[in-house]
Every structure is written in C-alpha cells, then in structure tokens.
Amino acid sequence: MENVFARSGVKAISLFRKHIFRTQLALSIFYFCIVAIILIISSQITRTLFLSRIAPRFENRIETNIENKTPRPVKPSAAEVQEDLQSIMLIVNGTFLILAGILGYFLAGLTLAPLHASYEKEQRFLNDASHELRTPLTILRTSLENIKRKGNDAIQINTHEAIEEVDRMNNLLQNILTLSRAEQYNTKTRSISCKEMFHDIVQRMQPLAEKQSCTITLLPNNENIAIVGDKEALERAFVNLIQNAITYNKPQGNVTISFEKRKNQVNIQIKDTGIGMNAEELTHLTERFYRAEKSRTRSKGGSGLGLAIVEQTIKNHKGTLQFTSTPEKGTTAIVSLPIHKAS
C-alpha cells in the first residue's frame, strides 16, 4: 500500500511540475509579446513626434544673403537635432514607463490571484483538518485511558505508549493551527513592557527548569523598554525559545535571559549551556518539521514546528530571529524587535 501511495505522490508531483512549466512558458511568451508591442508603439510615436518637430525647421528656416539679398534655407545644427530627439525620447519613454508600471502591477495581480486563492484554500484546509482530527483523537485518548485502567500490566504499558502517540499528534495539530494563524497575522497590537513580560514568563517556566535540574536567570534591567504587538503570540514565542533552552540543556545547566535597548530596537538574548548544534543544523533550524536529531527530539515531544512558529511570529512584529551555537557549549537565540516610540 505504501508503494501505491508513493507512486501516486510522485505522479502528482510530476504533473504539478509540468503544469508549472507550461504556465511559466505561457506567461513568458505573453510578457514578451506585451514588451514587443510597447516597443513598437513607442518607436512609432517617437518617430512621428520627432519628424513633426524637425520638419518645420527644414521648411521654414531661411537666411538672407547680404551681397545679393537672396534668401536661402538654413539646416538645423546637429546639436539642435540631438536636443529635440532627447526631449522627445524622454517624454515618450517616461510616459510608457509609467504606463508599464501600472500595467505590470495589474498583470502581477492577475498572475498571483491563483496563487493567493490556492494559499487561502490551503489555510482553510489546515484549519478545518486540524479541527476535525482533534475530536477523534480526543475520543481515542479517552478510550485508551479506559482500557489502560481495566487492563493488566502488559496492556497498560502498550496503551501508555499509544496515549503518548496520541498526545504527540494532538500537539502537532495544535502547532499546525498556531502556525496557520501566525501566517494570517492581523491581530490588534498594544504596548508590552519587556520587564513585566519576561518576569511573568520566567515565573511560569521555573517548574520546568527545576524538573530538568536547570537554573533560569533573568538579568536585571531597569530601563522602561516597551514593544508593540500581540502579547499572547509574543509570550508563546519566547516561552518556546526558553523551553527549548531548558529541555536541551545539560544537567545543572543554566539559561540566561537578557534584554537591552539598542537605538530603536530591543535586543533579546536567551542563552543556554546545553548540547549546542553545528553550523549545518543551524541553517535548517527554523524549517518546518526539521529536527536536528529526530530520535532525541521525538523523545522530548518535539514536532519540528515550534521554531517555525517563533520565526513567523517575530517576522509578524517586524523583528529578526538569529541563532549562534557551539557544540557541547550551548546555543544563544537572539531576537530584535522594534521598540515602542514612547520608550
């Protein structure tokens, strides 16, 4: 059955690529024809205007011979002809450039309309599928818990593993929903105090840090630094970063959180003393479903979407997310966000 699905998937991808190629080729020909038409029209208008301006100079300009007082025609100089040509080309090309910009914007909208519709359809599908799947998973989990309570030791062990898988699936669906909502960011924003936000987050993450035998520290900062955004989304993003720093830390490790004002930005650093990552892993860190060590992250409950959600949230707030890491020494997450004008 897997081979049938695999072959179907490959065939579907192949057909999609052929369709994209044909569409790209058709659009290239279409745009080529438009440019050719614009050039032909532009050349014809330039020629007509230039002749209409230069012809009267050959016909009407004459001078009188002083000796015999006979008139004779005077040809325009090369400089005058060049000046006329340049002014006409500037007017014609400028006009067509403006028209081309307007037309290009209109055509770009037409070209992207199917992609926009496809994107919205994908988002609706993800939302609907995630909602629909959560109900049977909840029922399945309840049934497994009932079986676990009534069964013997062997059944309890097996059902416990099954319940863990259901919980992972629920977590994955929740992350898909969160990422989908983050990509459709349109939430009303408000001013958020960095000091208060990180103080609350550290208090919430303290039990997890104690469970992992880890110390979490918020470096003091008395500056009144505020950012503008969706508080719930930003808190979720920073909780994710701090949770990773705790989860993948070493026993008796440390997590240090700091923030400071740099011009019109606030620089936030979350530094751990954990296992670290190599340069190759760092380049893929925020990719969807990427996990540095799949077996390790799976045992920790990771779905591979957490950092993708964090990155999208930071981008929504016009900020940047970077990572630096050294294997066996630790990782630092660096977030830069615009500060509130009143800060």
Least confident among 51-65, 175-189, 209-223 = 51-65
Q: Is residue 295 over pLDDT 50?
A: no
Over range 52-58, report the average pLDDT: 67
Question: CB-based burial of residue 79 (10 Å sphere; 0-12 exposed, 13-18 middle, 19+ buried)?
Answer: exposed
Q: What is the pLDDT of residue 124?
A: 67
- Give the number of other CB atoms < 10 A from CB of residue 101: 10
In this predicted model, what pLDDT tens digit does every residue of 10-49 receive, in sequence order? 555 566 667 666 776 777 777 777 777 877 787 777 777 7
At residue 147, the 3 state secondary structure works out as helix
Q: What is the pLDDT of residue 69?
A: 53
Q: Is 328 left (phi over 0), alpha (psi -120 to 50) or beta?
A: left
- Give the number of other CB atoms < 10 A from CB of residue 119: 13
- Please give the single-letter amino acid code of residue 283: T
Average pLDDT of the chain is 76
Over range 213-219, report the average pLDDT: 93
In this predicted model, what pLDDT tens digit does every residue of 310-333 receive, in sequence order? 898 899 899 999 999 998 889 999
In this predicted model, what pLDDT tens digit does every residue of 60-83 receive, in sequence order? 555 544 455 555 555 666 676 677
Q: How far apart, in whole angstroms, are the C-alpha atoms of residue 160 and residue 140?
A: 12
Closest CA to 192 of 228, 246, 245: 228
For 152, which DSSP code? -
**Residue linked to tokens 């369709």:** 19
In the chain, DSSP assigns E strands to 62-64, 71-73, 190-193, 215-218, 226-229, 254-262, 265-272, 320-326, 330-338
Alpha helices by DSSP H, 1-77: 2-60
Q: Name, in order, each residue with C-beta under 8 angstroms of 53's C-beta and a sequence gap of 6 or more.
A: 84, 88
Least confident among 64-73, 159-168, 277-286 = 64-73
Which sign, positive or negative, has the C-alpha torsion 36, 41, 43, 44? positive
Q: What is the pLDDT of residue 184?
A: 62
Q: Is residue 197 over pLDDT 60?
A: yes
Q: What is the pLDDT of residue 64?
A: 47
Beta bridge partners of 332: 271, 324
Tokens of 255: 């997590």
Closest CA to 307 of 272, 335, 343: 335
Dihedral angle, C-alpha 17, 22, 25, 27, nearest 10 °? -100
Q: For 189, phi and psi rounded to 5 degrees?
A: -105, 160
Alpha-carbon distances, residue 176 vs 134, 158, 269, 303, 321 (angstroms): 12, 27, 26, 10, 20
Please measure the distance between the N-terminal and C-terminal CA atoms of the chain and give it in whole angstroms. 61
- Please give the single-letter amino acid code of residue 232: E
Beta bridge partners of 323: 333
